[in-house]
Every structure is written in C-alpha cells, then in structure tokens.
Structure 1
Amino acid sequence: MRFLPRRGLYFLLFVAVVLMLLFFNRFFSYKVTNEALHKASDQLSAILHQNLEQEKSSALRLALVLSQNSDLAEALENDDEDRGYELLSRTMRTIHEHTKVMVRSQIISADLTIFARSWDNSFAGMPLDMYRPDLNYFERNKQPRAAIEVGRRLGFKATVPIYKKSQLLGFVEVLQFFESPTLYFRNAGIDLYVLMEERFQNIAILMQENPKVGGYVVANLAHNPLHMPMLSHINLKALFQKRVMAYDEHYLFMYPMKNGEQETIGAFVMVLSREAFERFIQEEGLSFLIDATKKDLVAMIKEEEMDDTLFKSRYDKTLMFVKESVAKEDRELFMQEAYEKLNEYSKEELISILLHYNFNRRIQGAIE
C-alpha cells in the first residue's frame, strides 16, 4: 500500500514529461515551419520578380527590333494597313518557324487606333483609348516601356514609340500572356495563378469568360484547374495580407501585381504541394528551381548562338551542343558528364545561361 502513492507520483511525472515533450515538439515544429514558410516566400518572390523582369526584357528587345524596321514605319506613315499587316505577320511567322514560340505584336497609330496586328487584319481602325489608359504615359515620355497592363486582356505589353524626326507616327508593341512563367514554375512543381482584380473587367473585355475566384479573374489560361476549388474556398484577402498560408496539404504564396504606374491591379498566387514545399526548403529554394530546370537546360540547347563568356570553357559550351549526336548507348554517360559540368556553375551563372537561352530562343532568325 505504501508503494501506490509513489507509483502514482511516478506515473504523473511520466505523463507530465511526455506532455511537455509533445508541447515543445509542437511549438518547435510550428516555429520551424513558420520560419521556413517566410523564407520560402522571400525566395519565391525573388524568383518570380526575376522571371517577370526577364519576360518584360525579352518582349521589349523584340519591340525595339521591330521599331527599327523602316518598312513598317513607312507603312504606318502612309497609312497602308495591308502592308503593315503583311510585314508584321510575316515577321512573326519567321520567329515561330525558327523558335516554335508564338509571339503577338501590333502597331498602334498615334491616334490610338489599331493599325495592324500580326495575328489577324480584321480590327484595323478600332479605337483603343478606352482600353489602354497606360498609353497616356507617352504623352509625357518618349522612352519605351514594358509592363504588365490590363488592356482588353491582361498581359505583358512592351511598347516602343515610332517617331519620324519629332513627329509621333505610332507605337509598336509585343504582347505576352504569362504562358512562359506558368510553364517555368510548373516544371518545378509549382502552380502559378495570375489574378486580375475584378474591377478591371469592363476594360478587359476579352476576359469575360475567364474563371473567377474571390474577387479576381484568372488571367493565365494555362493554369492548373485542379486547385480552383481550394482557391475558391480560402479567403484570398487574408492570404494577400499574410502572403503565406498552409491549407489542406498545400502551401500558398501570394504577391501583389503592379502595372507600369506601380498601381496594384491583381496578384500572383503560387501553390505547392507538401512534398514540393519540403523539397523546396530542403534544397534552399533557388537550388530547387535550378535542379528542376537543369535537365531541361541540357535537353533544350541545340546550336543556338550563345555568348562564350557564359561558359567556363569552350568544352562546356560544345558539350551542350553535341547532345543530339550522342549514341544511345553513350547517352547515360553523356548526361552524367553534363550534370557534373553544370554543377561547377553557381546559381547565378546557371540563371544567366537559362535567361540568355530563353531570349535567344524567342528571336532567333531573320527579322524582316
């Protein structure tokens, strides 16, 4: 009988220790997860920003090339819409033929009406002033600009004014609609959703049938529809404030989308499964994306002209170009060698190669 109180005391002490361990383990796990979430959020934000800037840059470069086409400028000056359409569509076909990338471009007259579009010639003369308030920027500035703007459809718009002496003839634009960023992140196991605020629907008339979620319109048509019920269920306003949320075995990250005037017009949402998130934080974010695209880097580079300074040696560059001629039985050895060489490069160097290739791939071929 004398031992029962002592046994009871031992039992209570044991339970107390177990409960404390569970408490501290839960607290510690939460703290680590919370820190990991915010660290991942910062890394994803930086990667997204870099990807968007690269998209703007590549679109602007092509728009600048088109703006130097004297035949296009002459057609615009002479108000020859058929000639403008012929030149634009032929140039875009050439780009598609050499790169398999579909690029849309258009010429806008100084009075803000459509002069020519590369993909059809049925809307020449249509006024754009009510859909493109962003073009008012050029009343005060002569410099080209690339930004995410609403228009009749939300997207990247790289706009370059065309002048003859001091007379404004119009603008050349290259348009992109988030296909590349969506695919880029999807290849890394991250689903990207580009959301425009619903208040712009009266302007974005070509997005009337796009899916809607939580006061936003989904702009990137190549989004993964599987997560739409989840996005409809959560409070996107709360996510916008927190930037980070864990929900139903997924992690969500939300970032503001700004136009050329730095006005918030929507948001970017990234969705990662638990497995993808754990791999992301284990591989320190940027390494995760680099590893995810390293295989693609080896697989996609053919004989495109690339700057020698991007590589540590001529051998490294040549190694990338000979992959198609490697015999089947030697392919595994070749891939091993390629991966070993790529591992010698820093994250920044690999990104430079990827971005350089991504731009060259878009505009390879003669621009007429």
Structure 2
Amino acid sequence: MRLLNSKTNKYLSIILLITSFFIFLIFYFLNNLNNSNNLLNNLENSLTTTKNLFEEQKRYALSLAILLSEDKEIVNSFLNENRQQTFEIVNRKIKTLKQLQDSNFEVQIHNKNLTTFLRSWDINIKDVPLASFRQGLVKVKEEKKPIVSIELGKRLNIKAISPIIINNEYVGSIEAIIDFEYLSKELKKKGYKLFVLLDKKYLDIANDLEANEKISNYILVNKTKINFLKDLDLENLKDYGYISNKEHSFAYFSYYDLQNNHLGYILTAIKNNKHININNSYDYETVNISSEVKIK
C-alpha cells in the first residue's frame, strides 16, 4: 500500500511538474505576444504620426510659397529686378511669417529661365542654373501650377514652389524651403526619433550633404545620432514596414522624387525595452495604388 501511494505521489509530482512547465510556457508565449502586439501598435502609431506631420509640413510650405508669390511688394521688386530691395522685403516677410509656426524656412526666387534670382540666406548668390537637377522648377514652369515635395537639390528638404504669373504668362517662381528640424522636434515631443536617409548615389546633386554621417548605402540628412541605426539591415528594406535592433524599433517608409525615383527612407524610432525583434516589410503594390502612402 505504501509502495502504491509512493508511486502515485511520484506520478502526481511528475504530472504537476509537467503541467506547471506548460502553464509557464503558455504564459511566457502569451506575454511575448502581448509585448510584440503592443510594440507593433506603437510602431503603427509612430508611422501614421510621422506621415501626417510630413503632410502637414508640406501643406504649410505650399501655403507659404503661394502667399509669397502673390505678395505685390515682393513681385513688384522682382519685376523691377531690384535684388537688394527684394532681399530686404523677403527677409522681413520671413520674420513675420515665422510667428505662425516656430520653424525656420528659407525663400528662393527664380528667374523665368530657371536661374536663381535671389536666395534669402545669401544675397551674393545669383544666376545659378537650376533646370538640370530641379525637377520641380521645370514642372511648375510647364504647368503654371504650384507643387510641393521632398525634393533633391544641393540639399534635401521640403520644397514648395509657386509660379509668378503676369497676364497669364510665367515670369518666374518663388520657393519656400523647410528642413526637417521642426519635424524632429515635434516627433521628439511624442517620444520618437526621426532619421531621414538619402541614397548616397545622389551625392553628386546633394553635394552640400557630402560631409554628413553615412551608414551602409545611405547618408543621414537631419541632425541626429547615426549610432541609433547600428546593426540594422538597411539593404533589404522594402517600401515601408518595421525593423529592430537591440535598443530601438523603427517604423519606416520610402520617399520618391517627382519622377518616382526612389530617394531614400524616413525612419521613426522608439525604445525597444523588451528587445523584441520585429522585422516586417511591405511593398506599396500590396495596397491601393491611389492611397497616400507614397511620400513625394
């Protein structure tokens, strides 16, 4: 009898041990799944937030360009070819308009032949030919309509261009230029870090970025620490998705020029405290082609 009880207790102990082990495994996997879902939700939120902020900033730049192109004081001084007067007027307008949003922007005015008439940050620069590498300028002259995009030039930034039209004739254009620092600040307030990467093959155009930090085949455009991106497999990214290293997880999406050439990636980072490895990538072709996913 004692032997039977001993065997029964032994079997019960084994069953209890096995049951406890499986219960532990279930809780472990459920906890990991919950953590992964929470991280993925946070990444999806960061992706949506970043896209929305970029679109808001593009609309803001476009409104500035249109407003300035219709400013009689600026247009008259431009038509009179008075660069000094135009320089003073433009910078006065910039100072006033900056009060609408705490972000820096610059203005460039273009001649009818798509050369530089004036840059708000340097009066000495003029008559620089732009048509060969500024797709947006050519498009505005051809269509006589304002546009905005993340456009490649000597630098990479948000550029909004509005034509100056006199008697239905294109006589020049005005461009509002906004960098990514305001976006970085706004995302930082929400707990995100912004990284704007440009493919290194475009450095022959964006030569002002030559000295910027580089990682893999990309150059870091905005001012932030590139070491956050270490150990990321940047060579196998698709159009948008999520990627992780030990310290951070990233939501990312591609951006394109006006001719649909892929320029690089915009990444938003959040802390990966649980060290969860998420690596999901998608092509734009898998979603509605008319959606607003693609950033230009």
TM bracket (short chain): 0.7 to 0.9
The 3-state SS of whatever aligns with 2:26 is helix
3-state DSSP class of the match of 2:143?
coil
Moved more, 141-150 or 97-106: 97-106
Shift, 1:167, TM fit: 2.2
Per-residue CA deviation, residues 213-240 of structure 1 (Å, 9 max, x unaligned), is 232211112x2x1xx2241322123455
- CA deviations 1:172-214 (Å, max 9, x no partner) are 0110001111000111221111111222111111111111123
Q: 1:105 aligns with which of 104, 107, 131?
A: 107
Aligned pairs for 1:1-368 (under 5 A) are 1-96=3-98, 101-221=103-223, 223=224, 225=225, 228-238=226-236, 240=238, 243-274=241-272
For the Cα contact (< 8 Å) 1:254–1:270, is it kept in 2?
A: yes
Mapped partners of 1:240, 1:100: distance in 2: 34
Provide, for residues 11-62 of structure 1, a one-character-per-residue CA deviation record: whole Å limited to 9, x for no partner.
Answer: 3222321221232223323333333333333322222222111111111111
Letter in 1 for 2:41: K
Structure having the higher strand fraction is 2
Letter in 2 for 1:235: D
Pick closer, same or farther for the CA change 1:100–1:241 going to 2, 3 Å: closer
In structure 2, do the counterparts of structure 1 residues 60 and 97 end up closer, same or farther at CA, with 3 Å as the change threshold?
closer
Q: How far apart are residue 71 of structure 1 and its match?
A: 3.2
Cα distance, 1:275 vs. partner?
A: 6.2
Q: Distance in 1 between matches of 2:245 and 2:62?
A: 38
AA aligned to 1:174 is A
How many residues of Structure 1 are paired with residues of Structure 2 in the alignment? Answer: 273
Residues of 2 paired with 1:131 and 1:273: CA distance? 38
| Shift of residue 72, structure 1, vs aligned partner | 2.4
One-letter amino acid of the counterpart of residue 136, structure 2: D
Distance 2:118 2:270 in 1: 41
Partner SS state of residue 130, structure 1? coil
Q: Which runs of 5+ in 2 are unaligned?
A: 276-296
Secondary structure (helix, strand or coil) at the match of 2:230 reads helix
Alignment root-mean-square deviation, CA: 2.6
Farther-moved stretch of structure 1 (200-209 vs 129-138) = 129-138
Q: State the alpha-carbon separation in 1 of the partners of residues 61 and 236 from structure 2.
A: 34
Alpha-carbon offset, residue 97 of structure 1: 7.3
SS at match of 2:153: coil
Question: Where does the alignment leave 5 or more consecutive residues of structure 1 unmatched?
Answer: 278-368
8 Å Cα contact 2:46-2:192 kept in structure 1 = no
* Cα distance change, pair 209–103 in 1 and its aligned pair in 2 (3 A): same
Contact 1:257 1:267 in 2 (8 A): yes
2:284 is aligned to none
SS of equivalent residue, structure 1 residue 243: strand
Aligned partner of residue 78 in structure 2, secondary structure = helix
CA distance in 1, matches of 2:18, 2:149: 59
Once the two structures are aligned, what percentage of the paired residues are identical?
A: 21
Of 204-213 and 124-133, the range deviating more from structure 2: 124-133
2:135–2:258 CA contact under 8 A, matched in 1? no
Q: 1:191, 1:71 → 2: CA distance?
A: 40
User: Which letter maps to 2:241?
Assistant: R
